[in-house]
Structure 1
C-alpha cells in the first residue's frame, strides 16, 4: 500500500519495484545484492519503539566462513546453517531454535508434458521405489531430517500413509515394464549448495543408478535453477522444495493447487485433482477440510505426480543472547520489533 501523496514520486522512481514503502519497525538503510542488507530503527513505528537499533543481514555463501564468524563472535545468528554445522555449533554451546514450519524436498518428474517419458506412471513409481528415504535422512540429516511418504509431513493432514517403500527390485521391474529393460539415461536438475555441490542430488543419483537409471547431474546456480523450476521447465527430474503452513490444506493450495503461489514446472494439477481443490475451498468445516486435504495428498501420491523425499524442520542457531519468537509462527514471519539482544 502506497500513500496517495507519495504515489506519483514512487512511480517516477520505477513503480516501487526497488523502493521500499511501508510502516514497519525498521527502515532500510543499505542494500547491496548478495552482500548486505541493513535496517535501522523506525522511531515513529506505530507499534512502539523497537528494541534493536539496527539489524545487519550479511550474505555469506560459504558455510565455512559463516561458521567461523559465529565462533569468533562476529555474528549473533545464522539463519541457514548446514545440518553438520548446526550439530557442531549446538554441541559447542550455541543455541538452536526450531519450530513446526519446515521445508519439504521432493523429486519433480516432468510429467505434465504428454510427450515426455515421465507421463508413464510406472517410470515415476520406479524412481520412488529406488530410494531409501530413511537411509538418506540418516546419512545427510544428522538426526533432523524426517522421511516424507507423501507431499505432507508426518503429523500433518495426509502425512500418515506410506504408498511406496524402499524396494530396489520393484524399481528394476517397473523400469523394465516402462520399456527400459536395459536402463535409462536421465538428467537430474538441482541447485548448487555452498560447497558447489548438492549432496542430496548425489545420494539420489546413487540410488537411481543402482536400479538401472543412468543419472547425469545438472547442478545449477540459483538463477538458472529458479528459471527452470518456475518458468522454463526441465527435461527429466528436478530436486525441488515446498513448505507447510498451520494446516496442510493451505499448503496444498499454495503449492499444488490449480492456482499455486509458485508454478512448479513438471507438476500437473489434473482436472480430477482440481475438482477436489475446488471443493475444499467451499467448506469451513474442519473435519471436511481435513478429509479433502487427505484426498488431495493421497491422489498426488497414488499417481506419483510428485516423489517426496524428506522434511527438514527449520532450525537456526544463535549465540544464546538473541531473544526472538522466530519460527513459532512459521518460517516466513519474524517479529523484528520485539526481538532483543542481551549485552
Structure 2
C-alpha cells in the first residue's frame, strides 16, 4: 500500500504511533483496534471529558436514545413521575457491576449525580432540588418545578455513572470505574487511552478484546492513518479526505448527518449585528448552496434552518427557509443605514462594516468555509478578517468581550432533546457557544413553558414557536448542517454509529472474518 507522510505530528505522537505499530507486530494474537479522533482529555472529570469515555464504551448513563431521538433506559430500567410532576423515581437494572467489581446501586448513582450537580454543568440547569437513594435499586430525583426533559438531561456524558471508589474524599475523580463494555487500563498524557473488554459486562458482550484511542488534531493525519493501516476507525474527516478514502483499497467511509450545525455566532452588541435587519441581511448574503455543493460535496447540507432533519423533533417544515439573495441583502443594509465608502466597504456614522471572525481547525471544514464567507460578504461591502486558532479561544474572547464573530460547529444532541442546548445557548443565561449579547423575553417565556410541558402535542407546537423566533431574529446564523465523515479499515465490521453520539462507537464492532 502507498505510504503517506504524516504532517504536523509532534515527537510525542510519533512515539505513540511507533509503539502502536510495535504492539501490533509483537502481539498479533492480541490485536488492538485503534480509534483516532480530534478529541483529547480536557481534565480528569466527567464534566469536561466524559464524552471521550462514553464514546469509547467505558462509562454509561441512566438513559440514552434509540438512534431516532427517543429517550430509552440504559442503566435505568424504568422511571415514573409523580402527578405533580416534581418527583421522579428511577429503577435500576439488576446485577450490574462497576469495573472495580462493586455493584451498581442507587447510592453509587446518587453520588455520581450529586457530584455532577455540584460541577455546575448540564444538571445544574435541570431544576433539580434533591437526588437521593430510597432502596438499593431505586433512586428519587425531585425538582423545584415541573421539568419534562429530565430523562434527556440524564443522558448527557457529564451525568455518567461511576463507582463510589472512583472519587477521592473531596469528590474529585481519581479513577474511572464505569459500567461499560470497555475498561480503562492505561493512558499516556491527554492523547492515548487503552481499554480492554469487560468480561462482566451486563449487556451485549464486546467482541474486540483491546482498543486504543489516540487524540490526533489534524484531519489529514487521521485520514492517512486509515490509509496506512495505522488506525481502524478515524472520526471527523473532511469531504476531500472522504473522496480519497473512497478511492482506496481496504478502506470504507461512513457519512452520517448528525444534529450538529455550523453557525455564525455574532456579538449583537456591535453596531454591525445589533439590529434584526442587519443580521437578516448578513444571512441573505451567504450562498449556502454553493458552500454545500462545492466545499462539502453535499448540496443537501445547506442549512435552511437551525437544525437538520436528523434532529427529528427540532426540524420543522413550517419555517420560511433561509435563502441567498444579494439584491435583498444590499437593500436591507441600505435601509439599516449602511452606505458604500470610497473602497466600497459599507460605512455608517463614520464606522466601517469591518469585523474579525474567529474559528478553529479541529473541525476540518471550518477554516475553509470561513474563507468562502469572507469572499461572499465582500460582495455586499462587508470586510471580514478570519483568524484560525483553537476552539478554546472562542470562550476566552467571549469572557473578555473581545469576540466579534465566530464560526463554530454546534452539537445539539449531547442532550438528546435539543432543548438542553437551545436553552443553554439562547435562554436567560447563555453559555460559551450560543447567542452573545442577545436576549428575547418572548423566547425565554417559550423555553420555560416547554420545559414544564409533558403533553407531547403541546410540546410540538412550542418547538415550532421557539424555532420561529430563532429563524426570525437570527442571533446566530446557520450556514450548513454537519455530515460526520468516518473512515473505517476493512479489518473491522459491524460498525453502527449513533447519530446522537451518545452510545459507544464500538457497539457491535468485531474483527472481519
TM-score range, shorter chain: 0.7 to 0.9
Structure 2 portions without partners, runs of 5+? 1-111, 113-161, 341-345, 347-352
Alignment match, 2:501: 331
Structure 1 length normalisation: TM-score? 0.85
Alignment match, 1:277: 447
User: Deviations for 1:215-249, whole angstroms, at most 9, x for unmatched residues?
Assistant: 111212233234336x4454322112223446655
Secondary structure of 1:310's counterpart equals: strand
Quick one: which of 367, 375, 384 aligns to 1:198? 367
Alignment match, 1:70: 226
Alignment match, 2:483: 313
Quick one: which of 180, 194, 213 aligns to 2:338? 180
**Offset, 1:297:** 0.7
Alignment match, 1:148: 303
User: Deviations for 1:144-196, whole angstroms, at most 9, x for unmatched residues?
Assistant: 76111221214744442335421112222222333331311111111135879
CA 1:176/1:236 → structure 2, altered by over 3 Å: closer, same or farther? farther
**Offset, 1:315:** 3.0
Preserved contact between residue 285 and residue 377 of structure 2 (Cα < 8 Å): yes
**Offset, 1:88:** 2.3
Alignment match, 1:127: 282
Preserved contact between residue 325 and residue 334 of structure 1 (Cα < 8 Å): no
Give the Cα–Cα distance (whole angstroms) in 2 for the partners of residues 257 and 10 of structure 1. Answer: 35
Quick one: which of 319, 328, 331 aligns to 1:170? 328
CA 1:226/1:38 → structure 2, altered by over 3 Å: closer, same or farther? farther
CA 1:132/1:335 → structure 2, altered by over 3 Å: closer, same or farther? closer
Give the Cα–Cα distance (whole angstroms) in 1 for the partners of residues 169 and 400 of structure 2. Answer: 30
Preserved contact between residue 248 and residue 293 of structure 1 (Cα < 8 Å): no
User: Greater relative contact order (Cα 8 A, min sep 6): structure 1 or 2?
Assistant: 1
CA 1:308/1:325 → structure 2, altered by over 3 Å: closer, same or farther? same
CA 1:341/1:300 → structure 2, altered by over 3 Å: closer, same or farther? same
Secondary structure of 1:222's counterpart equals: coil
Give the Cα–Cα distance (whole angstroms) in 2 for the partners of residues 26 and 64 of structure 1. Answer: 28
Alignment match, 2:393: 224
Quick one: which of 93, 105, 113 aligns to 2:262? 105
Alignment match, 2:156: none
CA 1:241/1:337 → structure 2, altered by over 3 Å: closer, same or farther? closer
CA 1:313/1:267 → structure 2, altered by over 3 Å: closer, same or farther? farther
CA 1:138/1:144 → structure 2, altered by over 3 Å: closer, same or farther? closer
Give the Cα–Cα distance (whole angstroms) in 2 for the partners of residues 176 and 99 of structure 1. Answer: 41
Quick one: which of 172, 188, 192 aligns to 1:36? 192
Preserved contact between residue 453 and residue 459 of structure 2 (Cα < 8 Å): yes
Structure 1 portions without partners, runs of 5+? none
Give the Cα–Cα distance (whole angstroms) in 1 for the partners of residues 447 and 368 of structure 2. Answer: 35
CA 1:33/1:76 → structure 2, altered by over 3 Å: closer, same or farther? same
In terms of mean alpha carbon deviation, does 39-48 or 84-93 score higher?
Answer: 39-48
Quick one: which of 437, 440, 461 aligns to 1:291? 461
Q: Say whether residues 1:27 and 2:183 are aligned partners.
A: yes
Aligned length, in residue pairs: 336
CA 1:324/1:312 → structure 2, altered by over 3 Å: closer, same or farther? same
Give the Cα–Cα distance (whole angstroms) in 1 for the partners of residues 230 and 362 of structure 2. Answer: 23
Alignment match, 1:136: 291
Give the Cα–Cα distance (whole angstroms) in 1 for the partners of residues 458 and 247 of structure 2. Answer: 44
Give the Cα–Cα distance (whole angstroms) in 2 for the partners of residues 137 and 175 of structure 1. Answer: 25
Cα RMSD of the aligned pairs, angstroms, is: 3.0
Q: Say whether residues 1:10 and 2:165 are aligned partners.
A: no
Give the Cα–Cα distance (whole angstroms) in 2 for the partners of residues 289 and 226 of structure 1. Answer: 32
Give the Cα–Cα distance (whole angstroms) in 2 for the partners of residues 298 and 259 of structure 1. Answer: 20
**Offset, 1:55:** 1.0
